[in-house]
Amino acid sequence: MIEYDYTLKRDEKDVICTYKPNNIPIELPNLVYIEGPNGCGKSTLLNIIALACHGLKNRQIKPVLQEKIKNLIDSDYQDLSFNIKMTDNDGNVELLSEKNDLKNKEIILRDANNKIISTEQFQKKYNLIYDIPENPTERLRELISEIKDINLYSEHKLGLLRSYILQIINNIQEARDPARIDSVKNEIEAFNEAKKNLIKEVDILEERLKEIRIFTYIKFYVHYDEVTRRIEGEIREIKKEENKKGKVIKKISGDASDLKKHLLDEIKNIEDLYHNVTPLLQNVFSRGKEKKRFLLWKELIVREEIARPDFNQTLKHEGSYFRDLLEKEYYDQQKDDDLKEAQIFRKIIDVLENYSDLKIMIPIADVSISSFIETLRDKLKDHENLTAKNENYKSVIDNLNIILEKREHVLNNLVPRLSKLYNEEADTKATVDDNTDDYQIERMENQLAENKKKKEYYKTSCINIGVSSDQEIKMLYPSVVMGKATKGLNEYKEEHLKDRIYDMEKELSRSRKEIIKHDSSLQYLSNELKRLERKDPHPYQANLNFLKDILLRDIQIMEQKMNIFGSYTKQLINNKYDSSGDSEDRKKYFDKVASYSAKRVGTIRHIENEFVPEKIDLVEKTIFTKSGKEIKIADLGTGQGQSAYLIGLLGADDNRKIIALFDEVAMMDSKSLTPVYEKLKELYNNNKLLIGVIVQKAETIKVSSIG
């Protein structure tokens, strides 16, 4: 039973009218068919029932009907009050709704226990169907919008599931992770090991640097001390000679003066070269079978050989002899594969250093240019002695060649020319003072100043490493410079040794910085380990891989699929099919929609018979029945189409009790309405329907019970 009453006050400008249910009885059976003319109140009744059942918040109700419902309560020209009671087929009250105040918008809906029911609670328990089946063919298509909602719901729920999984993954990763703890422990171990190796490396490097420094500083301090003494002696000798000559200054020609200065320069050059190569020759020939010949070389005096070349020829013969020996050794070294490798590496480094700032990766090696240079440098270190030795030999060979050439030039060219000038011009062209002694002294004093500077540098360097007195230096010299421990270092020239010291200092600085970096990494890892160990494990820890690699991926794929299905559904709703990229998947989807629609409709009436559809193909606009009949949707009688649609709506199977309100079923004849009546009765008898109201436009008012 439906018992109702309402008051509707409407401002019609000239008068305020009050409408009450005067035409339609205020007590109606649960299943009722109402006919009547416009304005008799049949649609108002449906709108009030819908409003009472939270119809304003029901998304399934068409906008046109929503508008009508809203208009009842939310317009400034009319006010409404109502009460409705709905009882079940046993006469028990099931729903009570009221709006007592014309102005107040509050509507209260109560259940059998007089308990207020919220919209959510109502929608969980009841399915309010309020519809106007205007165009049956189009309305059949609207069933598809249900599919759209199902799709959206599924996609939404999958999205929630994905977010939840991501949250769990995040929580697991933030929780105590034994694998991460092990990994941090391994990292700590690796850093400690690397640090230990670095410290060892630094110790070795520091020790070696100390050796090289002490060797270099003592060796070259003594060397420059000797050279200083030698030059000082030479200056003294010249001054002594000058004193012997008295104050008489010989007059010579300008040409002779220039030539004499040139001759003295050349002799000085030979002497310098001689003193330059002698320590290197000493390294090679001071022991073994060449010892005696080296002693001859070591004791020769360059100026005496120039003064008496017929008598003294040690410079010439021993110089040539040692040069030949060294050349042979040099070319033998050149054949050594290690040396070749070192030379090639050196050339590559020289070329690449021009591009070391570029971020280019070396193919195959897959390292940056600067890293590649570092690797080559490390390799080069293995052959460092070999390269230094070879370069040294080359330098001694070149210097010996220059000595021999200059000796020949002095003896065969300069000395005879000067003698000739003296003889020819002695008394005739002598116009300037012979100041070549002063010239020599000045030149030697310059050289002396330079040597003293270098000696001072090495003296300071010795003090810096803790060797402070001359006596200490001289005491250490035999063991440090001549001793076996530093034998390899004698192969190096002064600038090479200084370069090596510089490189080693750089290397040490780099390694020390590396140790500091390791310390800081270890500190960070130690804190991280403490932090990780303080955490509690996550209950799903063991399932991390399943959640991350399997489940999350599966759900993402499902979401993508739902999204694609949504686009297919949209094509069905709009009756516009995008044939580009037509796929098997889309055909399969439409086929499943056709089957679903057929099941939703249940039965259809066509001409005189009822059919059970197998598929309703909305693309082909054809209904395929189980009995094998094909019916074009356009051929369906309008009333039959409405019937199929309404039965479809009533066929929703979600265990909720239906409240069915159908307005203006105008095109349906009694044959088309019968299956709808039957469906309503079936649902009502099975307690799946609370009320069913069908209204129809007619000339006169007629209210009849269905069934």
Partner 1 sequence: MEKEKLSLDFISSLFEKKREKEIIKYIFDELSERTIIEELIKQNKGEEEND
Q: What does the binding site for partner 1 look like in residue numbers (CB under 8 A)? A: 146-147, 150-151, 154, 157-158, 160-161, 164-165, 168, 540, 543, 546-547, 550-551, 554-555, 558, 561, 565, 589, 592-593, 595-596, 599-600, 651-654
Q: Which is nearer to partner 1, 106 or 653 (CB)?
A: 653
Report in angstroms how near the CB of residue 174 gets to partner 1 at its nearest: 17
Q: Which is nearer to partner 1, 53 or 147 (CB)?
A: 147
Q: What is the C-alpha separation between 453 and 32, in angstroms, rounded?
A: 125
Strand 689-697 vs strand 657-662: parallel, antiparallel, or unpaired? parallel
Judged by beta carbon, residue 585 or residue 669, the one nearer partner 1 is 585
Measured CA to CA in angstroms, residue 445 lies from 38, 301, 440, 454, 659 at distances of 134, 20, 8, 14, 124
Q: Can you tell me which residue has the tokens 């008598």?
A: 311
- Nearest 10 degrees: CA dihedral of 207, 210, 212, 217? -170
Nearer to partner 1 among residue 597 and residue 643 (C-beta): 597
CB of 243 closer than 8 Å to CB of 402: no
Question: In whole angstroms, how close is the CB of 641 to partner 1 at the nearest point?
Answer: 21
In the bound state with partner 1, the residue whose beta carbon lies nearer, of 150 and 573, is 150
Q: How far is the CB of 542 from partner 1 (least distance, A)?
A: 9
Beta carbon nearer to partner 1, 116 or 550: 550
DSSP 277-335: HHHHHHHHHSSGGGHHHHHHHHH--HHHHHH-TTT--HHHHHHHHHHHHHHHHHHHHHT
User: What is the SS3 assignment for 669?
Assistant: coil
The whole-angstrom separation of Cα 488 and Cα 255 is 50
Reference 417, options 406, 425, 427; nearest CA is 425
Compute the least distance from the CB of residue 528 to partner 1, in Å: 29
With a CB cutoff of 8 Å and minimum separation 6, the contacts of 421 are 253, 255, 256, 259
- Give 237's contacts (C-beta < 8 A, 6+ positions apart): none
β pairing state of 604-606 and 609-611: antiparallel
Residue partners of 346: CB distance under 8 A and separation at least 6: 380, 387
Closer residue to partner 1, CB minimum distance, 459 or 600: 600
Radius of gyration of the chain (CA): 57
The distance of closest approach from Cβ of residue 131 to partner 1 in the complex, given in angstroms and rounded to an integer, is 19
CB of 111 to partner 1, least distance (A): 21
What is the C-alpha to C-alpha distance for residues 195 and 368, in angstroms, rounded to an integer? 24
Smallest distance from partner 1 to CB 550, Å: 7
Distance in angstroms (rounded) separating the CA atoms of residues 266 and 272: 10
Q: Which is nearer to partner 1, 176 or 599 (CB)?
A: 599
Q: How far is the CB of 523 from partner 1 (least distance, A)?
A: 38
Shortest Cβ 28–partner 1 spacing (Å): 30
Minimum CB distance to partner 1 smaller for 281 or for 593 = 593
CA distance 625 to 615: 7
Please, is 337 exposed, middle or buried when counting C-beta atoms within 10 Å of its C-beta (0-12, 13-18, 19+)? exposed
In the complex, the smallest distance separating the C-beta of residue 158 from partner 1, rounded to whole angstroms, is: 7
* Residue 53: CB minimum distance to partner 1, A: 22
Taking the C-alpha atoms of residue 433 and residue 415, their distance in angstroms, rounded to an integer, is 20
Q: How far apart, in Å, are the Cα atoms of 561 and each of 12, 154, 567?
A: 55, 11, 10
Which CB sits closer to partner 1, 535 or 592? 592
Min separation Cβ 599 and partner 1, Å: 5
Task: Report the nearest approach of partner 1 to the CB of residue 154 (Å).
Answer: 5
The smaller minimum CB distance to partner 1, of residues 160 and 516, is found at 160
Nearest approach, Cβ of residue 10 and partner 1 (Å): 42
Under DSSP, is residue 595 helix (H, G, I), strand (E, B) or coil? Answer: helix
In this structure, are strands 367-368 and 361-362 parallel, antiparallel, or unpaired?
Answer: antiparallel
Alpha-carbon gap, residue 569 to 589, rounded angstroms: 9
243's CB contacts (< 8 A; 6+ apart) are none
Between 251 and 688, name the residue whose CB sits nearer to partner 1: 688
Given the complex with partner 1, which of 595 and 622 has the nearer CB atom?
A: 595
Of 338 and 682, which has the nearer Cβ to partner 1? 682
Q: CB neighbours (10 Å) of residue 338? A: 12
The C-alpha atoms of residue 177 and residue 434 are separated, in whole angstroms, by: 95
